[in-house]
Amino acid sequence: MGFSKNFMWGGATAANQCEGAWNVGGKGMTVSDVSTAGTVSDPRYTTYITKDGKPGKAIMFQELPEGAHRAVLDEYYYPYHEGIDFYHHYKEDIALFAEMGFKIFRMSISWARIFPKGIEKEPNKEGLAFYRRVFEELKKYNIEPLVTIFHYDMPVYLEEELGGWGNRELIDLFEKYACVLFNEYKGLVKYWLTFNEINSPILLRNYIPNYPKSRMKEALQILHHQFVASARVVRAAHEISPDMKVGAMLGGVCSYPLTCNPDDVLATQKRQQDDFYYCCDTMARGKYPYYAQRFWEEYDVKLETKEQDFIDIQEGKVDMITFSYYSTGCTTVDENAEKAKGNFTTGAKNPYLQYSEWGWSIDGKGLRYFLNELYGRYQLPLMVVENGLGAVDQLEANGSIHDPYRIAYTREHVKAMRDAIHDGVDLLAYTYWGCIDLVSASTGEMKKRYGFIYVDRNNDGSGTLKRYKKDSFYWYKKVIESNGEDVD
């Protein structure tokens, strides 16, 4: 029992990390457009102008001073402004995806390219036309689009003037935006994802020291609005076209107890519930899970809701579960346990695993375990929509790039998926993250490369943007041709 003949092999990107053309074609400014470059040791910043007219910067995810407005400042470099210029290179890039044999390509749409502020009565025709050209190019090669509607790319106007997802007005605006997409691309796009890593607002407390309880209260209210918005969008998609399939997309949190101490086991169970299942249970089962009340009480949360919200959530259950999976973590109550350190900490260090340069554990078997856990819990089709290894690649004088570390990483995860399918898991697709090099979301670097395709672009923005095939390009092509049988 290997991969089915209909299994969809492919890759994944996000508009803000690869598209570029940040102020071209009628696109409005997004929160991504004011994110500076960083490194594994130096944080990314959000730049702004205070109400007194003074320039400033705040570490990404931190609140801005009261009255400040996000702004592009001359003294900073913003890697998302040009990305890898997929906006102008999409035909070349899609041809390379087709050469590898892609059956599916995950991408996102920038809300501000369709509604520049997010509140307009009519969509931006140039933005709609651009994505139509992309979808038609994919169709030419029989590549199925998998489209994320919201991938960390909020129009600045919605964030600053309406207060972002803390304001329930965004539910209606998001539904309007999604319905424009469904009607515009009906027949071109079958698979949709509502929110990228929807659990990210609650994951931040694990990554930011001394995360205030008030921010968690805001995060849980934001999630309620997003649950309602997602459910309404799922229902709308089914009404517009019964063929459309809409999925949840979550940041994969897979944690092991560091020891067999019952306290570690209980702490791990709680972490999985709070960090992952809270969102997934709500979206897949159509109601908040039994442990939600315990979670809310921990942060003194009393959600502001309407009776209709719970009807919407029940009627808008997702068709499939999709998630990112890069590594696993360990949970322990022992405060002196060694931490796995990287750009984001994932808990205690696992002595049985190797770690990447950026501090991520490499754990193919964990993917098999996680797939079994999810399918056993939901009995819904699954997709692995992000998985990959960030590493420093060397472009040789002859244009070759030797990346055996990426092949080794991906090989183990392909084997794990094959084993999970043999276990009985219904797995539809695998879209390797950053199938073409793009700007790293966590560090803002180009140096941290994921792709099978190398893009000549450096951390400071220099480079020709020329595309080169890495060794992993040819390896993945072979994997797809053999439908996952030849992974050597």
Neighbours of 308 (CB within 10 A): 10
> Phi and psi (nearest 5°) for 62?
-85, 155
Of 71, 70, 107, nearest to 87 by C-alpha is 107
Length, in residues, of the chain: 488
Residues with catalytic function? 197, 386
Here the tokens at position 407 are 């092949």
Pairing relationship of beta strands 427-433 and 8-12 according to DSSP bridges: parallel
Distance in angstroms (rounded) separating the CA atoms of residues 283 and 259:
32
Instruction: Specify which residues 460 forms β-bridges with.
Output: none
Q: Spell out the SS3 assignment of 38-97.
A: CCCCCCCEEEEECCCCCEEEEECCCCCCCCCEECCCCCCCCHHHCCCCHHHHHHHHHHHH
Percentage helix, strand, coil, to 5, in the chain? Answer: 40, 15, 45
Of 56, 290, 70, nearest to 159 by C-alpha is 70
Pairing relationship of beta strands 144-150 and 191-195 according to DSSP bridges: parallel
Of 289, 419, 259, nearest to 350 by C-alpha is 259
DSSP letter, residue 147: E
Name the strand (E) or helix (H) holding 465. none
Q: Is the dihedral of CA 233, 239, 241, 245 positive or negative?
A: positive
Distance in angstroms (rounded) separating the CA atoms of residues 282 and 270:
16
290 contact partners, CB below 8 Å, separation of at least 6: none
Distance in angstroms (rounded) separating the CA atoms of residues 370 and 277:
12
- Whole-angstrom Cα Rg for the chain: 21
Of 200, 277, 271, nearest to 442 by C-alpha is 200
Distance in angstroms (rounded) separating the CA atoms of residues 256 and 399:
42
First to last CA, the chain: 19
> What one-character-per-residue DSSP string does 170-234 give?
HHHHHHHHHHHHHHHSTTT--EEEEETTTTHHHHHHHHSTT--HHHHHHHHHHHHHHHHHHHHHH
